[in-house]
Chain A
Amino acid sequence: QSALTQPASVSGSPGLSITISCTGTSSDVGGYNYVSWYQQHPGKAPKLMIYEVSNRPSGVPNRFSGSKSGNTASLTISGLQAEDEADYYCSSYTSSTTYVFGTGTKVTVL
């Protein structure tokens, strides 16, 4: 299984919005509403930010939102804050009953 495709880096100024894309295939992203997003700060464990395409776990700010169209999912961070600077990974359940992660995106707050 091939990793889902994400941009290597995305940057934005505080207070503005950024969107990270995650492109897969009809066997993963496009075939299931089981796309999740993870935030990872250096030296820390990944943290679940979005599940089932657009649902936020308790405690995750509503500045984080998710969506999907066809084989591409997206994570939008609105009102960007300094603490949002981190690596972000998408993940999808697949037709092989496995999981696949994205290539990862480094978010920089300017």
Chain B
Amino acid sequence: QVQLQESGPGLVKPSGTLSLTCAVSGDSISSSNWWSWVRRPPGKGLEWIGEIYHSGTTTYNPSLKSRVTISVDKSKNQFSLRLSSVTAADTAVYYCARSAGLKCHDYWGQGTLVTVSS
């Protein structure tokens, strides 16, 4: 069974950098799947942030592209998200997910709340 688990600080200061890691089990990060980050701000809908392939190839949401970096660590079977220059608008539950070859997100982490506040 594929499982994903997010980890990282739950509180980030404004103008700082949000950093999260997603540990994958039950599948290899080097498989033929892509690996995504999605967020849901309080009271709002889901927003796709970006995804990465094990080769390091990335695709980002154009609205966040200038602030987002997604990376992969094959030795630890995990991938990470960095979002810079955060504001209160970046407060959200952040999910990692597997982007299956059928262009859908079939496995998700349980999500982690990140609050941007001083």
B45 adjacent to A52 (CB under 8 Å): no
B63 adjacent to A51 (CB under 8 Å): no
B104 adjacent to A91 (CB under 8 Å): yes
Q: Which of B1-56 touch A at CB < 8 Å?
A: 36, 38, 45-48, 51
Q: Which of B74-118 touch A at CB < 8 Å?
A: 95, 97, 99-100, 102-106, 108-111
Contact of A46 among B46, B60, B99, B103 (CB under 8 A): B46
B45 adjacent to A3 (CB under 8 Å): yes
Give, as a whole number of angstroms, the nearest-CB distance from A86 to chain B. Answer: 13
A57 adjacent to B103 (CB under 8 Å): no
Interface size classification for chain B = 20 to 34
| A38-54 vs B, Cβ < 8 Å mask (1 yes, 0 no) | 10100011111001100
B104 adjacent to A48 (CB under 8 Å): yes
B102 adjacent to A101 (CB under 8 Å): no
A32 to B103, CA, bound (A): 10
**Number of residues in A with C-beta < 8 Å to the partner?**
28
Best-surrounded residue of B51, B62, B95, B103 (most CB of chain A within 10 A): B103
> What is the predominant secondary structure among interface residues of chain B facing chain A?
strand
A99 to B62, CA, bound (A): 11
B45 adjacent to A104 (CB under 8 Å): yes
Known: A36-B103, A45-B108, A48-B105. A102 touches B45 (CB 8 A): yes
B99 (CB) vs chain A CBs: closest residue: A99
B104 adjacent to A46 (CB under 8 Å): no
B66 within 8 A of A: no
A1 adjacent to B106 (CB under 8 Å): no
A47 to B99, CA, bound (A): 13
B59 adjacent to A97 (CB under 8 Å): yes
Give, as a whole number of angstroms, the nearest-CB distance from B55 to chain A. Answer: 15
Contact of A48 among B61, B62, B95, B106 (CB under 8 A): B106
**Chain A interfacial positions (CB closer than 8 Å to B):** 1, 3, 32, 34, 36, 38, 40, 44-48, 51-52, 55, 57, 89, 91, 93, 96-104
